[in-house]
Amino acid sequence: MGRRLRRVAGYDEDFTFVSPIVKYLLFIFNFIFWIIALVMVSIGVYARVMKHAEAALACVTVDPAILLMIVGVLMFFLTFCGCVGSLRENICLLQTFCICLTVIFILQLVAGILGFIFSDKAQNKVTEIISNAIVHYRDDIDLQNLIDYGQREFSCCGGVTYTDWSQNMYFNCTKENPSNERCSVPYSCCLISKEEAVINTMCGHNIQQETYPNAGKVIHTNGCIDKLVNWIHSNLFMLGGIALGLAIPQLVGILLSQILINQIKDQIELQNYNIQHRSDPWR
């Protein structure tokens, strides 16, 4: 690809060219993800700006907006290199794009393998992250909505068990806690019946003081970590398909950029060769 044969002054001259199909296909590929990255960064910045300063600083490590901004900025930088590099046929930018994308792909692959091999340590890390999220539940509305969504979807409550909510200062079940939500759990933990005409949002009030069987009549008592592990084991093929779907665009980007880099290098080498022979016809 990218090489033709022509007749020049009675001689066969092999010359190279940059394929416009590869060039603009790589540009369109990067431009689409560049727009997506720009949207991600914009949403992340807007979410951070709309939060109170105290709440924003209190839970930086578990803020979904921060994660969105970090991923968006990295993606923006990579796709910018890919877009400009393909249009300007700039080897430096294309190599930066190709190397960074390759490193990210390898890191994802290594993380997946290590997560599978050291599943116990990975589960402990997830437990730590969920515990930290529970502590900052009321500090960040985005984090709160994310936890509530997870508890509703997985029909669970807390990390290991529903009493994990005592780690939160508002739901803490000690006598010194003056909060009105003392010994309670969020509404997303509650068992919701479709037959109920009026939803009782206070169904989890003082539920941590109840025994496990009695609490099970009102809320989901199983922790979200076990439910998440069971869900992963039950949906391995779907998760594998998602992983493959994420890997394919990366491999396509690496392949297209490498093809374009090789074509540009061949063209530069041939131009230098022709210049040398024109300046020295006896060579």
Domain positions in the chain are: 3-120+236-279, 121-232
Give the integer Cα–Cα distance in Å for 133 and 262. Answer: 48
Taking Cα atoms as reference points, which of 196, 78, 62 lies closest to residue 132? 62
Dmax (CA) for the chain in angstroms is 99
Task: Tell me the β-bridge partners of 3.
Answer: 16
How many whole angstroms from its chain centre is CA 158?
23
Q: How many CA atoms lie within 13 A of 74 on its CB side?
A: 9
CA angle 116, 247, 126 (to 5 degrees): 35
3-state DSSP percent of the chain in helix, strand and coil, to 5: 70, 5, 25
CATH superfamily of 121-232: Tetraspanin (1.10.1450.10)
pLDDT at 13: 44
| pLDDT score of 12 | 40
pLDDT reported for residue 280: 58
Tell me, what's the pLDDT at 5? 41
**Alpha carbon of residue 97 to chain centroid:** 18
Q: Rounded CA gap, 205 and 147, in Å?
A: 18
Per-residue pLDDT of the chain in tens (283 residues, 90 and over written 9): 444 444 443 334 444 567 889 899 999 999 999 999 999 999 888 877 776 544 444 455 557 778 888 889 999 999 999 999 998 889 999 999 999 999 999 998 888 888 778 777 878 888 888 888 899 888 878 888 889 999 999 999 999 999 999 999 999 988 888 988 899 999 999 988 766 656 677 888 889 988 888 888 889 999 999 888 888 888 878 878 888 888 898 999 999 999 999 988 888 888 777 777 766 555 5
